[in-house]
Amino acid sequence: MTSSKSTALVARIEQWPIAGSFTISRGAKTEAVTVVAEVSRGRHTGRGECVPYSRYGETPEATLAALLSMREPLRQGLDRQALQAAMPPGAARNALDCALLDLEAKTGGQRVWTLLGRPAPRACITAYTISLGSPEAMAAATVKAAHRPLLKIKLGGDGDGKRIAAVRKAAPDSDLIVDANEAWASDNLEQNLANCAEAGVTLVEQPLPAGQDQMLARIRRPLAVCADESVHDLKSLDGLRERYDAVNIKLDKTGGLTEALAMADAAHALGFEIMIGCMVATSLAMAPAMLLAPVARFVDLDGPLLLARDRDAGLRYDGSMVYPPDAALWG
């Protein structure tokens, strides 16, 4: 029998249909596959959700197995601080870290930001993603979203100049950020950046492949460039300052909110602008990232808006405004 002081863990894989499809330079998908961890102690249960990312060699099955391997350490008293060394950064640790934080908040009877000594999150504007497609298809999708103040445009290489021009024409008043998802190369980098600057884009995410981005330090960047695939956790910030102006912090990369908060503090001290990003997932995955919103220049937590449906007690979205989570959801 589990004692009242030990922690029990259950985990499962879930599928959430996407409204239509979600397309980036690496392909398209029609459902979000998430892994949920639930940790219980006494009468309290904490939850966390992650999205295994094949770009980093993660699968739902391996992520689930990694989580279940922590059952015995948790039963023996593994806490959130010890978890940081017990598991590597990545999706599995994210789900468990966030579940343990949720459990700490519930056990202590206080909101998680109070527990961590952080500012309470407030409602903020989130970006809304326009998937990669032909210029005509992207313009049509943008027209439907042109009322939103911040749009994130997925680009993918050849023809990106026409794509971003078409999007700008369709949304003349929206702020635009671009995510190239590593699809550009040294021979089109400067032209693509110039096309984005001409269209009034504010920020470009990860234009070159991670590990092949040295050219960014040798050119004049006409607009801010943000690291995504080139930055993961706190240690990966080293050496990025010459190449990037901003970093995209995602909990599935950092391995949870604990590391993400430390990373945000360090990134701010180094002079980076901060973007808070997400994978396509439910509100349970977005809720912990809301604690980073007060220090972020850009918030990109639109995952639930791209789903056919969200989980019960999900985050409140009012247009592009996203509100802090209720305790019934997380934290």
Residue 29 is a catalytic residue: no
Q: Known catalytic residue: 253?
A: no
Tell me the C-alpha distance between 128 and 319, whole Å. Answer: 10
> 210 near 230, Cβ under 8 Å?
yes
Q: Which tokens belong to 139?
A: 């313009």
Q: What does the block give as tokens for 183?
A: 């699809």
H/E run at residue 289: helix 283-289
Catalytic one of 106, 154, 169, 253: 154
Name residues whose C-beta falls within 8 Å of residue 315's C-beta, 6 or more positions apart in sequence. Answer: 283, 286, 287, 290, 301, 304, 322, 323, 325, 329
Nearest to 159 by CA among 127, 130, 186, 183: 183
Distance, CA of 147 to CA of 248 (rounded, Å): 25
The DSSP 8-state label assigned to residue 301 in this structure reads -
Say if CB 285 and CB 303 are below 8 A apart: yes
The tokens for 66 are 């990694």
Query: Exposed, middle or buried: residue 226 (CB in 10 Å: 0-12, 13-18, 19+)?
Result: buried
Neighbours of 268 (CB within 10 A): 14
What sign results for the dihedral spanned by CA atoms 102, 106, 107, 111? Answer: positive
The active-site residue out of 5, 152, 235, 250 is: 250
Beta bridge partners of 226: 205, 246
Residues with a catalytic annotation lie at 154, 250
